């Protein structure tokens, strides 16, 4: 995550890396909530390079209340977590100590080294090392004696009452200085946080004053057409109807005929079913195919994909009950989501883009005004020629 921010924003590659971890998903959720977009739309913004550091800072500021709330709800069972961590580490170390594992290999290497030390080669090495220590001692000892004399002088100095008072005063001054430095750091952090909030409120003021929240159906359709690949379905959707009735009901053939006829006769089917207290599910809005199947006596071990491509009314039996099924239309997983299901998502994305454009234009105007009034200077240094 830090590498992505150091690059000035969050790239599509960094987004994918973050999404694979729990902590990364939490961070992305806060950013998505702050921008009022879905996770899929946030990924699209990352791929387009629109998740700059400024944009994410503003999004996290918008989510500060949720962040504080989540942190306040963190579990306080620190001791239990430490015990689990200890057990995990011990199991890991035990696995490393198995035959052929890293610790076993290291142990074998140490054993070989001990055998070498006990052999002729090790004895020769110790003899050479002894000579080296004697030689180094002849050089170092005068230095050690000089340092020792200085230490003795310092000890005598600390035993002097006047010197002790001086060192005690020096320690108190150091403690006071440390407290002052800590206060300065805390105050600077608080001021920086407040400045960020004020900048966000100022940006929000200009956004509220200038943003055009009116969106036409044509604008939504144009965005949908240009970004259909961003709205791929992760499940199959269907529209259709299901009716449950007694298997031996005398009007079952009539019900089946009206159900598959369509047009005005389909309304006759609904009225007939209502009159006879049949259990009817008229699915006129897109529904998850798995939810559709849960209204039927299906078996989890069976694949019902062929139900989508069959024409006309289909039947299923469950004891004394007969289920009549009609699939009017379907959209398979991986195909574009119907625009009516993502209309509000598209609206939020477009409005967020407008907000970013207003903030960017406002910041540019402030910078240009500061340059014009000579309150800001931009220094561009020539690149060093290393050829």
User: For the chain, which residues make up each domain, given as ranges?
Assistant: 2-72, 82-116, 235-331
Annotation: CATH topology of 235-331: Chitinase A; domain 3 (3.10.50)
pLDDT at residue 111 in the model? 73
Determine the pLDDT at residue 144.
65
- Per-residue pLDDT tens listing for the chain (387 residues): 455 555 556 777 777 777 667 677 778 888 888 888 777 778 778 788 888 877 878 888 887 777 777 766 655 555 556 666 666 666 656 665 666 666 666 777 677 776 766 777 667 766 666 766 666 667 766 776 676 666 665 666 566 666 666 666 666 766 777 777 777 777 777 666 666 666 666 667 667 777 777 888 898 999 999 998 888 899 999 999 999 999 999 999 999 999 998 888 889 999 999 999 999 999 999 999 999 998 898 877 788 888 999 889 999 999 899 999 999 999 999 999 888 888 888 988 988 888 888 888 877 887 788 778 776 666 666 655 554
Determine phi and psi for 5, rounding to 5 degrees. Answer: -70, -35
**Whole-number Å distance between alpha carbons of 78 and 83:** 9
Which pLDDT does position 228 carry in this prediction? 86
Chain centroid to CA 179: 37
The pTM of this model reads 0.43
Strand ranges across the sheet with 237-246: 279-288, 237-246, 321-331, 313-318
């Amino acid at each position: 995550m830090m590498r992505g921010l150091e690059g000035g924003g969050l790239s599509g590659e960094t987004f994918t890396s973050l999404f694979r971890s729990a902590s990364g998903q939490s961070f992305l959720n806060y950013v998505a909530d702050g921008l009022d977009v879905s996770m899929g739309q946030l990924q699209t913004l990352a791929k387009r390079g629109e998740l700059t550091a400024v944009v994410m800072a503003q999004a996290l500021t918008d989510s500060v209340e949720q962040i504080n709330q989540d942190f306040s709800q963190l579990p306080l069972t620190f001791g239990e977590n430490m015990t689990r961590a200890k057990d995990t580490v011990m199991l890991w170390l035990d696995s490393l100590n198995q035959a052929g594992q890293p610790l076993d290999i290291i142990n074998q290497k140490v054993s070989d080294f001990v055998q070498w030390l006990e052999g002729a080669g090790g004895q020769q090495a110790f003899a050479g090392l002894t000579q080296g220590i004697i030689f180094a001692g002849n050089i170092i000892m005068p230095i050690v004696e000089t340092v020792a004399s200085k230490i003795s002088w310092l000890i005598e100095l600390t035993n002097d009452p006047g010197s002790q008072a001086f060192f005690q005063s020096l320690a108190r001054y150091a403690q006071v200085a440390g407290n002052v430095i800590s206060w300065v750091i805390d105050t600077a952090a608080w001021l920086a946080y407040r400045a960020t909030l004020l900048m966000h409120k100022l940006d929000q003021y200009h956004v509220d004053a200038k943003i055009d929240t009116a969106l036409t159906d044509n604008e939504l359709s144009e965005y949908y057409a240009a970004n259909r690949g961003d709205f791929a379905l992760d499940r199959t959707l269907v529209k259709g109807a299901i009716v449950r009735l007694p298997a031996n009901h005398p009007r079952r053939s009539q019900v089946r005929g009206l159900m598959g006829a369509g047009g005005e006769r389909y309304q006759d089917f609904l009225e007939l079913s209502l009159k006879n207290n049949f259990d009817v599910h008229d699915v006129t809005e897109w529904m998850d195919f798995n939810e559709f199947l849960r209204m039927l006596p299906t078996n989890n071990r069976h694949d019902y994909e062929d139900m989508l491509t069959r024409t006309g009314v289909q039947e299923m039996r469950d004891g004394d009950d007969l289920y009549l099924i009609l699939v009017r239309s379907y959209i398979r997983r991986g195909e574009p989501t119907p625009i009516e299901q993502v209309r509000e998502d598209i609206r939020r994305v477009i409005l967020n883009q407008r907000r970013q454009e207003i903030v960017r234009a406002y910041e540019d105007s402030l910078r240009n005004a500061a340059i014009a009034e000579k309150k800001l200077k931009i220094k561009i240094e020539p690149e060093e020629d290393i050829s």
